[in-house]
Amino acid sequence: MHGLLVDDQTRCEHYQGPLDVIALKFACCGEWYPCHLCHAERADHETRQWSTKDRATQAVLCGVCGSLLRIDAYLEKSECPTCAAGFNPGCRLHHDLYFD
């Protein structure tokens, strides 16, 4: 996990709320970051979005239980299908940064 983590549930210095518990594998580098701001600060390249044809890729990590989610499953859910940890609904505002 890359970025500026503040706890073991993938919260970072940018997003520290109780529902900020996911990390994303970035399409551009295959590396895991808790948020787009951590990627921008730590990576030496531009972000590339996952294309719609890649929706079956496991690219979302639940920081509570460690389960990997497919992109399509994550986009359809508001909580982890394994442990029921809620996901921050505000993250939907940033989906265009990660996914086509």
Q: Does residue 4 have a pLDDT over 90?
A: no
Contact assessment for residue 30 and residue 57, using Cβ atoms and an 8 Å cutoff: no
The mean of the pLDDT values for the chain is 96
Q: Does residue 42 have a pLDDT over 90?
A: yes
At 6 the pLDDT is 85
| pLDDT over 90, % of the chain | 97
Q: Does residue 5 have a pLDDT over 90?
A: no
Contact assessment for residue 100 and residue 75, using Cβ atoms and an 8 Å cutoff: no
At 69 the pLDDT is 98
**What is the model's pTM?**
0.93
**Under 8 Å CB-to-CB from 54, ≥6 apart: which residues?**
27, 71
- The whole-number average pLDDT for the span 55-82 is 97
Q: Does residue 98 have a pLDDT over 90?
A: yes
Q: At 53, is the pLDDT very low, low, confident or very high (cuts 50, 70, 90)?
A: very high
